[in-house]
Structure 1
Amino acid sequence: MTVSHSWDMPLRTKLLARALSRSRSAERMQTADEIARSRAWFAPARVPFTWITGSVPAGVEIGSTSFRARDGHEVAVRTYRPRHAESEALPAMLWFHGGGWVLGNTRGYDPLCAWIADRAGVAVLNVDYRLAPEHRAPQAAHDCIDAARWAASDASGPGVRHTALGLAGDSAGGNLAAVAAQVLGAEGGAEIAYQALVYPAVDATMSSPSVAQHAHAPILTRRDMDMFLAHYLGTDEHALDPLDPLVSPLHAPDLGGLPPALVQTADLDPLRDEGAAYAEALREAGVEVRHTNYPRVPHGFMSFPGATRVGGSARVELGEWVARHARPGSVG
């Protein structure tokens, strides 16, 4: 495991982290209006924002579609595909965005999802799953599982292959990708070829050492995590048990037979150790795993590669993992 001195970040990373921490802290998420405003925001696709987030490649077409979830709700999906492959049925990767199951939106992930589509030659399906506190656990997980089953069916259309799907996401989205991989492996309904978990939240007990070590970290604090989990799990008699694998995939009784997993963690992140623990648990269960811990970066760094020294490398690793498993033989 990489070890870093507390908040030993490059200056540009530190400045951006401070700004983001002020704008999205738990203290500012006390009312429905504040949550709604935060959900709606995304970085504009123009300079100087694209210096930080990266730009959408010109060769990628962004579109939209939807599917009907198990309860009849229509779930929106933002799509990304290389323009040169407009008539081709492409391998599909489902992306589940971060935001603590409470915040976030699909448009905010345009730079990353479009970059993956272009780099790996896949169709990326960015799922607008339902958020808490309006929709508590396990609603988000159900939407993401239903999304994979939809992508594996003819209902998703001729533009994607319905086999060998990928599941990917960051933070809460990494949680949902891991949960979906487990449920689909046990119950069927979609053939999953790989998973890519970017600083995933996989243990709702918050008992790993890095939660205490980085309780006051930039971007994501222990107080933020408490707030997110209270919204997602609930705090009444109907609250979901934090040990339930539908919210804590690390605590699933059997991890054998799951698809290959890339796990990327950030060293200055409360979630670092649970991501590392999940990678090790998968490895011990016989699953192919690649775990990379990136030094001197906080939670969320994949979304602002221009403000870090390793964000570009992390994206390349992610893109190559997707390409290797979506298109075997495409990457040496």
Structure 2
Amino acid sequence: MSRMPLRTRLFTAVLDRLGHDTVENLDLEEIRRLRAAVAPTRAPYTWVTGAVPRGVRIEEATFEARDGHGIPVRVYRPAAPGPHPVVVFLHGGGWVLGDPRGYDPLSGFIADAVPSVVLSIDYRMAPEHPAPQAALDCVDAVRWAAGAAARFGGDAERTAVCGDSAGGNLAAVVCQVVRDEGGPRIAHQALLYPGVDATQSFPSVRQLANAPVLTLSSINAFLELYVVRSGLSREDPLVSPLFAESLEGLPPALVQTADLDPLRDEGQAYAAQLAAAGVSVRATTYLGAPHGFMSFPGATVCGPQARLELATELSRHLGTDRAVPRATGGR
């Protein structure tokens, strides 16, 4: 295990002091207020988060889920002429927090660097909607994208799913469900420090119980709200994709983990199981990085490199044959 760089230690200390690690102490009103809190997309904030690239257009859309509920979507369109591949992006936040707007810099980066049309899904969250609602919304989102991509200059024949943390969990679940139910085709899955084991069976969960950004107590609180209250078993693949009966036939994968993250071991284990099932996998663990580091590349040493790896892998599997190496964490 490596040491965290000074700039990352300072940033995460401030982040934790501001209360982003206390979901276990929040009531529903406070959860909803925290969901709505989004960092401004201007300097000096963008020195840490990265800026939305110039030329990327952001639009709003909605699709109808299987129960008739309207699901908001934030759409990022690159400046380059299309049609472009489509990346369905699933935000993190423990299935409880988070909002597509909070991921504007990362989603905008993907749109510009691949280039691609990014559809960021505002899926329903716990505690109002425990498992498997978020997963079902995200499956429905991929199916909607297959029919709606052309509206946004997208090519539905080249679709990937990408998610971080709880969104990485959902991306993995989506790939399994879509495979089992016969499509649509997903060309690639990018899982950024995903949570894939709700049983918490791996050592890093305890070894890094007091890690910055994400602690064991917060993980337990998220699981309580999303999984335990649902009545689903913690080993149900809809909440723990690591326990799927088979991983054969899943899309090629990028699995990025952080070595100072309680979820590190389960992400690495999922990558290993994908590879053992014959799935093409690129797995990278970033040293000195905590959970969530892709959202604050300017406060890390490795964040820009991890973003470039993400764009390169998406580009390779989606047939754009290029990823633009842009700075994502500076001024």
* TM range, smaller chain: over 0.9
> What is the rounded CA distance, in whole Å, between the counterparts of 2:11 and 2:83 in structure 1?
39
Matches within 5 A, 1:106-185: 106-154=100-148, 157=151, 159-185=153-179
AA aligned to 2:273 is A
> What is the rounded CA distance, in whole Å, between the counterparts of 1:91 and 1:165 in structure 2?
6
SS at match of 1:83: coil
Question: Does residue 210 of the first structure (1) align with residue 224 of the second (2)?
Answer: no
AA aligned to 1:61 is R
Instruction: String of CA shifts for 1:116-172, please: whole Å, max 9, x gaps.
Output: 110001000000000100001000000000000001124863621122310100000
AA aligned to 2:126 is A
> What is the rounded CA distance, in whole Å, between the counterparts of 1:287 and 1:34 in structure 2?
41
Question: Does residue 313 of the first structure (1) align with residue 305 of the second (2)?
Answer: yes
Could you tell me which of 199, 222, 247 is aligned with 2:239?
247
Mapped contact 1:243–1:251 kept (Cα < 8 A): yes
Question: Does residue 287 of the first structure (1) align with residue 287 of the second (2)?
Answer: no
> What is the rounded CA distance, in whole Å, between the counterparts of 2:158 and 2:178 in structure 1?
12
Q: Structure 1 residues 154 and 217 mapped into 2: Cα distance closer, same or farther (>3 Å)?
A: closer
Could you tell me which of 1, 11, 15 is aligned with 1:16?
11
Instruction: String of CA shifts for 1:163-209, please: whole Å, max 9, x gaps.
Output: 23101000000000000000001102311000000000000001101
Instruction: String of CA shifts for 1:23-46, please: whole Å, max 9, x gaps.
Output: 212366421121112111111011
Mapped contact 1:150–1:156 kept (Cα < 8 A): no
Could you tell me which of 67, 70, 74 is aligned with 1:78?
74
Q: Structure 1 residues 141 and 112 mapped into 2: Cα distance closer, same or farther (>3 Å)?
A: same
Mapped contact 1:174–1:196 kept (Cα < 8 A): yes
> What is the rounded CA distance, in whole Å, between the counterparts of 1:192 and 1:28 in structure 2?
35
Equivalenced residues, count? 323
Deviation (angstroms), 1:64: 1.2
Q: Structure 1 residues 247 and 131 mapped into 2: Cα distance closer, same or farther (>3 Å)?
A: same
Q: Structure 1 residues 155 and 112 mapped into 2: Cα distance closer, same or farther (>3 Å)?
A: closer
Greater alpha carbon shift after TM alignment, 19-28 vs 178-187:
19-28
Q: Structure 1 residues 270 and 229 mapped into 2: Cα distance closer, same or farther (>3 Å)?
A: same
Q: Structure 1 residues 244 and 11 mapped into 2: Cα distance closer, same or farther (>3 Å)?
A: same
Mapped contact 1:97–1:106 kept (Cα < 8 A): yes
> What is the rounded CA distance, in whole Å, between the counterparts of 1:311 and 1:155 in structure 2?
29
Deviation (angstroms), 1:21: 1.8
Question: Does residue 52 of the first structure (1) align with residue 48 of the second (2)?
Answer: yes
Name the residue aligned to 1:103.
97
User: Unaligned regions of 5+ residues in structure 2, if any?
Assistant: 324-331
Mapped contact 1:324–1:330 kept (Cα < 8 A): yes
Deviation (angstroms), 1:329: 3.8
Name the residue aligned to 1:221.
215
What is the Cα-based RMSD across aligned positions, in Å? 1.5
> What is the rounded CA distance, in whole Å, between the counterparts of 1:146 and 1:92 in structure 2?
15
Could you tell me which of 67, 92, 96 is aligned with 2:63?
67
Aligned sequence identity (%): 55
TM-score (norm 1): 0.94
Name the residue aligned to 1:265.
257
TM-score (norm 2): 0.94
User: Unaligned regions of 5+ residues in structure 1, if any?
Assistant: none
Mapped contact 2:23–2:221 kept (Cα < 8 A): no
Structure 1 outlier segments of 4+, above 3 Å: 328-331
> What is the rounded CA distance, in whole Å, between the counterparts of 2:70 and 2:148 in structure 1?
17
Deviation (angstroms), 1:330: 3.7
Instruction: String of CA shifts for 1:203-225, please: whole Å, max 9, x gaps.
Output: 00011010010001000000000
Mapped contact 2:312–2:322 kept (Cα < 8 A): no
Mapped contact 2:114–2:320 kept (Cα < 8 A): no
AA aligned to 1:21 is D
SS at match of 2:72: strand
Question: Does residue 299 of the first structure (1) align with residue 299 of the second (2)?
Answer: no
> What is the rounded CA distance, in whole Å, between the counterparts of 1:107 and 1:29 in structure 2?
24
> What is the rounded CA distance, in whole Å, between the counterparts of 1:20 and 1:28 in structure 2?
16
Greater alpha carbon shift after TM alignment, 194-203 vs 15-24:
15-24
> What is the rounded CA distance, in whole Å, between the counterparts of 1:158 and 1:303 in structure 2?
25
Deviation (angstroms), 1:300: 0.5
Mapped contact 2:91–2:163 kept (Cα < 8 A): yes
> What is the rounded CA distance, in whole Å, between the counterparts of 2:107 and 2:152 in structure 1?
20
